[in-house]
């Protein structure tokens, strides 16, 4: 099972088909957003938001620590959650909960060696994952 199949399976229980695709696309866009700083910027944002140990587990090679929707919302900020909710048509609480399911898996899969890849490698990995997702 591919990364996006896994991600969609996890959040599929929470959201209808079109909504889950939109939320996955928004998570991918966040990881590719130069204003956020890509994956390394997102990891830093979580660290500054008090989730350092949690996000380090996602990047590392061990088991991923869980995160709640409230923790995700706190780290990303209400503006980011509101923006994603507006783009997807999903309630803000569902956006936070969905991202809490998606981001640990996506970040884990994008950091198989236990470190954040450089932007060129990240772009290639995101493109590859997006292609697999869009074919599914």
Per residue in 109-133, pLDDT tens?
A: 888 888 887 765 565 566 665 555 4
pTM above 0.75, yes or no: yes
pLDDT tens string 69-125: 999 999 999 999 999 999 999 999 999 999 998 899 888 888 888 888 776 556 556
| Residue-level pLDDT at 33 | 82
Spatial separation of the C-alpha atoms in residues 136 and 52, rounded to whole Å: 33
Spatial separation of the C-alpha atoms in residues 57 and 50, rounded to whole Å: 14
- Which residues in 60-75 are b (16+ Cβ under 10 Å) and which e? eeeebeebebebbbbb
Q: Distances from the Cα of 115 to the Cαs of 3, 32, 39, 119, in angstroms?
A: 18, 17, 11, 12
88 closest CA partner among 8, 15, 9: 15
């Amino acid at each position: 099972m591919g990364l996006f199949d896994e991600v969609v399976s996890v959040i599929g229980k929470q959201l209808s088909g079109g909504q889950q695709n939109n939320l996955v696309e928004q998570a991918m866009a966040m990881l590719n957003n130069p204003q956020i700083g890509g994956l390394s910027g997102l990891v830093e944002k979580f660290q500054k938001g008090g989730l350092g140990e949690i996000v380090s587990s996602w990047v590392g090679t061990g088991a991923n620590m869980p995160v709640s929707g409230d923790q995700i919302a706190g780290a990303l900020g209400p503006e980011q959650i509101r923006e994603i909710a507006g783009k997807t048509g999903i309630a803000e609480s569902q956006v936070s909960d969905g991202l809490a399911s998606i981001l640990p898996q996506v970040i884990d899969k994008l950091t198989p060696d236990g470190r954040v890849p450089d932007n060129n490698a990240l772009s290639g990995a995101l493109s590859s994952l997006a292609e697999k997702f869009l074919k599914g």
